Structure 1
Amino acid sequence: MINKLLSVHDLWLVLMASLVCANGSWASISLFDRATRTNGTRQAAWQVLTAIAAGTTVWCTHFVAILAFNPGVPVTFDTDLTMLSLLLAMLGAGLGFVIASMASGPAMPLIGGIGMGLAIAGMHYTGLRAYQVQGTEIWNLPRVMLSVLLAATCSAGALHFAVRSGRTSRLIASLLVGGALIGLHVLSIDALRIVPAAAPGGAMKPGTFQALAVAVTMGAIGVFGTALACNLIDDSTRAESYDKILKMALNDSLTNLPNRASFTQALERALQKAELTGGRLALATIDLDRFKEINDVWGHPAGDDALRLIAERMRACLRPGEFVARVGGDEFAAILHVPDQATLEDFLARIDAALKQPIRVDDRDVATGGSVGVAFYPENAASAQALIHNADLAMYRAKRDPMRRVCFYDREMDEAARLRKRLASDLRTALKQEEFTLHYQVQTAVPTGEICGYEALLRWYHPELGEIAPAEFIALAEENGLIVAIGDWSLRAACAEAATWNPPYKISVNLSPSQFVHPDLPEKIAAILAETGLDPSRLELELTEETIVVDKARALLTVRRIKAMGVTIALDDFGTGYSSLDTLRSFPFDRIKLDRSFVQDLETNPQATAIVRAVLSLGKSLNIPILAEGIETSGQLTILSAEGCDAVQGYFLGRPATPRQIVESGAIIRHAPLPA
């Protein structure tokens, strides 16, 4: 049979048909593999490409192989049947691949393969019917049936392997598709016997067959090349998309610094390296100072600009091997291998310099900074999570201490952190359960010794831990966003209490920075005064200079709106912080409160006396009364009286007391009964 087949075929055209079959089979299976790994519209598109490639492979292999066949008699082609065979090839192959890709069960690839094999056989014999010879065709039906069975069997096997993953499975599937096509052609030609006609008619010239075969082969190669190019383009696009998605997943979109996920990976790698080399690793967590004020005063776009600028400054100061990431809203983290102390100090100095540079916001230079906590591996922690936790503890300690920009972890922080965490949780309960109370400290006019008012001071008596110092729980309330609610409660409670007093002494209440920056503060104060019935002239609100220095223009507008109601404003803690003369000149303060730190040294330190004298003279020149805080001895009071101080308060004159104690002392008479 082989000798017979070789004798009736053009071997060059057979080689061309084989090339078309091999390349087309591989291209079709590769495209189908891509289709099975996608879904939706993309899967449908790949299925169409698979059908085109497979149909082209089947038809072109068949057509070139037929052109290679020399029956020994004149031959012509029926154009309609030839085109019909191409349509059958594409539809049959496409339908087979679609059925095979259905996830209904393992039998679907076999069903789809059998259908595709029958379609290939139908295409083949339709094509042979279009191949019209001048003679009588005699068919061996058993061999024809065998060829159809072979096509169906090989196609079923091909799709069985095609739905599996792996290069080997795709190769086996491609070989089976080729086997179906070659076996079908060989068996069908062997099953055909042609009896020449008595009088030959017109036929196609032999050179035309070669030209058609070359044209069909080139067309097939063009189709395969297009399909494979689509595959390569999709691979490239997917790779680019993957790289882009990976970058988005590992980088912060706002600052373009590595994000928390990238930081976690970098820290794990750094710990592994330190463990292998026996090196020392430093983790620094960084929290920006006063960033919330930028957001509250100028809005979130300004805050975003600030974050981008700070991130760029930190990125610019890095050296090879150093790593900085943004891990939260205004939180950053840095990783550094520490061969010696000088390396660590240099790194922290560069980060601190980047944080301290002013930020230009709305034509103003805003002073910023950051609190930095540092923990070391292996001495402070043995795992990434513990290292992060300990660095955070150190950072929070640095944040609570304005004099320390960088704080290093020590074991005592753990117990303090647990207590703070518990108190932070208990603060919410205290607000709901009304565990807060107000005590009132008397303020006395120096010239006459008469009471001129009281300052409301917040107290918290914890049910289990007893009295908690205001310096401790107020800082916690600020950190946890509770200070505004607590401040509002204090203002309302103080006004309600003072409204019941006779004589109608003035009541002083502190405003926190977070309260003051709220745009509805004047309306809130007006509502509380209306609710409690307190005369606005009896309310004095105390502000620190730190509260108003962030945005002086906006703060001045707020102060003027409050004063327009008749409420007075006092500058608290003067002598600490900024103590700017420009602030005194620009703001219409009704009183200046001299910080206790200057009063404490009056009797022993001539410089403290000189400073107090200067402040009192400044107040007189500006026509602003001065109240000195922290009077604890008669000597301090005598000096202040001699220097012309207007008013004083402190333990020497009276400790903070409850309303009941004040009433019992006879200092006031209450219109309403005291609560039980």
Structure 2
Amino acid sequence: MIEVITCLRDGHDATLVAAAALICALGALVSTRMFNKVPGGEVAGRKAWHVLQAGLTGGATIWTTHFVAMIGFDPGVPVAYHPLLTMLSLVLAIAGVAGGLWMIARSRGTLLAEAGGAVIGLAVLGAHYIGMAGLRLSADLVWHPGMVIASVVLALGFGALTANRIARPRTRFCWYGGVVAFSLAIASGHFTAMGALTVAPHTVEVPLDGLVPDRTLAMLVLLVMGLFLLFGFSSFLIGEDARRDAAERLRRQSLHDPLTDLPNRTMLRNRLSQLLDSAGCGEVIVAVGIDLDRFKPINDVHGHAGGDALLLALSDRMTGLLGPQEMVCRNGGDEFIALKADAKGPEDAIAFARRLHDALTRPVDWQGFRLSVGASLGVALAPQHGGEVETLLGRVDLAMYRAKASSEQVVIYDPAMDEVSRARSLMAVELRAALELGQLEVHFQAQSDIPTRDLVGFEALARWRHPERGMIPPSDFIPIAEATGLIRELGVWVLNAACREAVSWAEPLRVAVNVAPQQLAQPDFAETVLDALLVTGLEPSRLELEVTEASLISDKRRAEEVMASVKAAGVRIAMDDYGTGYASLSTLQTFPFDKIKIDQSFIKPLGRDRQAAAIVRSTLILGEALGIPVLAEGVETETQLAFLDRARCREAQGYLFGKPCGAAETAERVREQWARKRAEFARGMSDAAAPGAAAAAAAAGR
């Protein structure tokens, strides 16, 4: 250390040493900033370019620091430099730094990073000692081995520390540690090595012809330093601009929907929060929830391309009609939320919602198709309906769902909706408890042969006997079960209960069980059905699963796999609510159904609606052509039954054959029919035997 201090004090120009230190610090700052780009997960070509950039800047920093300090070195005799070795030291510095950085880039968290830093330290040492080898003066250079070793240790150590701070940052400020470490690697390597040097002048001065004098070297160093620092700064600034651009793109992507480029729910909440915080006295903020009707069938029939094209067209329409204080955000799927900040009251809010509704319900032409959807809009006002973001959006949802459930296109929030929402939430909790406490019952509705009116099977239906409110209609609790996911547990319970009851019937009639779309989507649904058959002992051929078209077209591949599994076991599959979906013919072609159930909406008008009659007849003809039996739902009158009989429909279900009844009454109906059939069979056998007995008696009399 004393030798280094003495060398700096007595053998160097303080101004040039300070200049070298400034160059070292400035170059280390730029170089380390560029080093930081290297270890990231980039493609190979871009990583190689960053390594080259950082290698050029870092190597030039080492070289210029060394030679500016050398220009300030005064050995007491004239000095010149060998041009080839001088330039070789620059090449070695650049190559060494680039090689070390390439090792850091490929380290993947291993000690290869620190090894790469040591290579950078070797570049510092190589540039120094080759540069010193190119020093020409009338003197002998004597090296102190201990100080040389110290210079090597310091350069390698600080080089490894530089790599450690680059490759293993604990905070975003670690790169400053890399700047300091790289500066120390250069400075300690150079000045410790200079402290190891003793100059012994010759008695006779050696001519320095053909070499590079100090002044020329100074000009060369300044030129190289200027060029490489300019290159480094420009690369740094370009990189910063690119980084800012990338950050802005990421920020925009995080706040906008990738398909429509509309603001997303995050930006919606931010904007709504700003509006609510800055709203003045008397200012009304309008939030409109938008849910597209009939969008899913379009997506199912035309694929995601058709659905995406429709969403883009509708988004453009809404954006085109917005005023300066209005915005539309995509809330996800087929839901949007619109905001209006300068409303005067409910009238303005309704007018804004109507404007959006009119834009959404106009057809969209796409690849020769006319895509058309409806829209249900819910409106809430701030501060009237809530001054907090979540409160206001929750009330928008309530109004939107009310619009969707009713025939109204636009519904403004009413406080009574909160009571309805709370009641639904309470019912969901109680329904879960009912499943656990055994408050549910399974009732059965008869399915009969039309010509004979004999029972051929029953459809199992869930019923809830509430301990306080009595029998709750399925129209109240089934939608809640579907919305909360309880429909899966409810469906499994009905399946097991129906199979268990059917096993006890006197006559082996069929039992039909409805399958919700959520059940069919479960990976283990087929195993659930087979387990129910195994546990209860019901013959698979007696079980009939009723599925709707909607549950099939939502995931055709999954539905095909499930149906193939249960049919292989002997279970029958019926298409329920035929005629109310969107792809009946293609569904019949794709799936192997054992029965078609015509929806009751086509049966009720029979006798007064020619179109309904035509649809029923065509369905029966189609079923006969495909070899699939057809059952008519919702038969309530003899007129309807007579029409079906004439049209050669074989089975029917409805109030004409009895309302759904409990398990005990159902079992009694089956027992009575079985007893009647046995009695009829016995009478038939007796009648058949009577002529033979009479003939035998007559023969005996003769």
Matched, 1:316 2:352: no
Q: 1:443 to 1:400 in 2, by over 3 A?
A: farther
- C-alpha separation between the residues in 1 aligned to 2:253 and 2:597? 53
Counterpart in the other structure of 1:438: 443
Matched, 1:543 2:543: no
Q: Report 1:196-275 matches (<5 A).
A: 197=204, 201=207, 203-204=209-210, 210-274=215-279
The alpha-carbon deviation at position 179 of structure 1 amounts to 12
CA contact (8 A) 1:455 1:507 kept: yes
**Residues 459-488 of structure 1: CA deviation (Å, up to 9, x unaligned):** 521444532223222333454567699789
1:292 pairs with one of 291, 296, 306: 296
1:514 pairs with one of 550, 569, 572: 550
SS of the residue aligned with 1:265? helix
- C-alpha separation between the residues in 2 aligned to 1:498 and 1:360? 55
The alpha-carbon deviation at position 300 of structure 1 amounts to 4.4
2:674 pairs with one of 655, 671, 675: 671
CA contact (8 A) 2:446 2:455 kept: no
Matched, 1:461 2:464: yes
- C-alpha separation between the residues in 1 aligned to 2:610 and 2:87? 96
Q: 1:542 to 1:131 in 2, by over 3 A?
A: closer
SS of the residue aligned with 1:262? helix
CA contact (8 A) 1:74 1:203 kept: no
The alpha-carbon deviation at position 348 of structure 1 amounts to 0.6
Q: Which amino acid aligns with 1:31?
A: S
Q: 1:70 to 1:340 in 2, by over 3 A?
A: same
SS of the residue aligned with 1:438? strand
- C-alpha separation between the residues in 1 aligned to 2:481 and 2:416? 22
Matched, 1:398 2:403: yes
RMSD: 6.5
The alpha-carbon deviation at position 254 of structure 1 amounts to 2.7
Q: Report 1:372-391 matches (<5 A).
A: 372-391=377-396
Q: Which amino acid aligns with 1:30?
A: V
2:416 pairs with one of 399, 407, 412: 412
CA contact (8 A) 1:515 1:521 kept: no
Q: 1:553 to 1:44 in 2, by over 3 A?
A: closer
Matched, 1:569 2:598: yes
- C-alpha separation between the residues in 2 aligned to 1:495 and 1:174? 79
- C-alpha separation between the residues in 1 aligned to 2:510 and 2:73? 119
The alpha-carbon deviation at position 78 of structure 1 amounts to 3.8
**Residues 557-585 of structure 1: CA deviation (Å, up to 9, x unaligned):** 589x75xx575635426689xx9976754
**Residues 334-389 of structure 1: CA deviation (Å, up to 9, x unaligned):** 22222333432232112212332335678554542122222222222232112222
Counterpart in the other structure of 2:376: 371
> How high is the TM-score relative to the length of structure 1?
0.63
> How high is the TM-score relative to the length of structure 2?
0.61
- C-alpha separation between the residues in 1 aligned to 2:496 and 2:564? 8
- C-alpha separation between the residues in 1 aligned to 2:234 and 2:68? 24
CA contact (8 A) 2:633 2:653 kept: no
- C-alpha separation between the residues in 1 aligned to 2:507 and 2:322? 65
CA contact (8 A) 2:598 2:633 kept: no
SS of the residue aligned with 2:601? strand
Q: Report 1:626-641 matches (<5 A).
A: none
CA contact (8 A) 1:495 1:507 kept: no
- C-alpha separation between the residues in 1 aligned to 2:508 and 2:57? 100
- C-alpha separation between the residues in 2 aligned to 1:530 and 1:98? 63
Q: 1:89 to 1:544 in 2, by over 3 A?
A: closer
Structure 2, unpaired ranges of 5+: 1-7, 515-545, 621-630, 677-702
SS of the residue aligned with 1:59? helix
Q: Report 1:431-510 matches (<5 A).
A: 435-440=440-445, 458-464=461-467, 465-480=469-484, 493=498
SS of the residue aligned with 1:332? strand
Q: Report 1:75-86 matches (<5 A).
A: 76-78=80-82, 82=86, 86=90
- C-alpha separation between the residues in 2 aligned to 1:83 and 1:279? 74
- C-alpha separation between the residues in 2 aligned to 1:349 and 1:371? 11
**Residues 513-532 of structure 1: CA deviation (Å, up to 9, x unaligned):** 63575766999699799968
- C-alpha separation between the residues in 1 aligned to 2:434 and 2:370? 39
CA contact (8 A) 1:32 1:97 kept: no
- C-alpha separation between the residues in 1 aligned to 2:370 and 2:399? 29
Q: Report 1:591-630 matches (<5 A).
A: none
Q: Which amino acid aligns with 1:386?
A: T
Counterpart in the other structure of 2:67: 63
Counterpart in the other structure of 1:355: 360
SS of the residue aligned with 2:332? coil
SS of the residue aligned with 2:339? strand
CA contact (8 A) 2:79 2:135 kept: yes
Q: 1:462 to 1:130 in 2, by over 3 A?
A: same
The alpha-carbon deviation at position 205 of structure 1 amounts to 8.3
Counterpart in the other structure of 1:132: 136
Counterpart in the other structure of 2:697: none
Counterpart in the other structure of 1:30: 30
Q: Which amino acid aligns with 1:310?
A: L
Q: 1:503 to 1:294 in 2, by over 3 A?
A: same
Q: Which amino acid aligns with 1:322?
A: E
CA contact (8 A) 2:35 2:101 kept: no
**Residues 58-99 of structure 1: CA deviation (Å, up to 9, x unaligned):** 433553675688999765534565457557866998999999
Counterpart in the other structure of 2:286: 282
The alpha-carbon deviation at position 410 of structure 1 amounts to 2.2
CA contact (8 A) 2:61 2:225 kept: yes
Q: 1:511 to 1:130 in 2, by over 3 A?
A: closer
Q: 1:36 to 1:656 in 2, by over 3 A?
A: closer
Q: 1:44 to 1:330 in 2, by over 3 A?
A: same
Q: 1:573 to 1:382 in 2, by over 3 A?
A: farther
**Structure 1 range deviating more: 304-313 or 509-518:** 509-518
The alpha-carbon deviation at position 621 of structure 1 amounts to 13
Q: 1:93 to 1:177 in 2, by over 3 A?
A: farther
Matched, 1:554 2:559: no
Q: Which amino acid aligns with 1:554?
A: S
- C-alpha separation between the residues in 2 aligned to 1:266 and 1:89? 54
Identity across the alignment (%): 24
Counterpart in the other structure of 2:695: none
- C-alpha separation between the residues in 1 aligned to 2:403 and 2:421? 13
Counterpart in the other structure of 1:340: 345
**Residues 192-214 of structure 1: CA deviation (Å, up to 9, x unaligned):** 7967737x6462589x7655543
The alpha-carbon deviation at position 419 of structure 1 amounts to 2.6
Q: 1:365 to 1:525 in 2, by over 3 A?
A: farther
Counterpart in the other structure of 2:696: none
- C-alpha separation between the residues in 1 aligned to 2:371 and 2:496? 30
- C-alpha separation between the residues in 2 aligned to 1:306 and 1:214? 68
2:329 pairs with one of 322, 325, 332: 325
Q: 1:462 to 1:309 in 2, by over 3 A?
A: farther
SS of the residue aligned with 2:323? coil
- C-alpha separation between the residues in 1 aligned to 2:339 and 2:452? 61
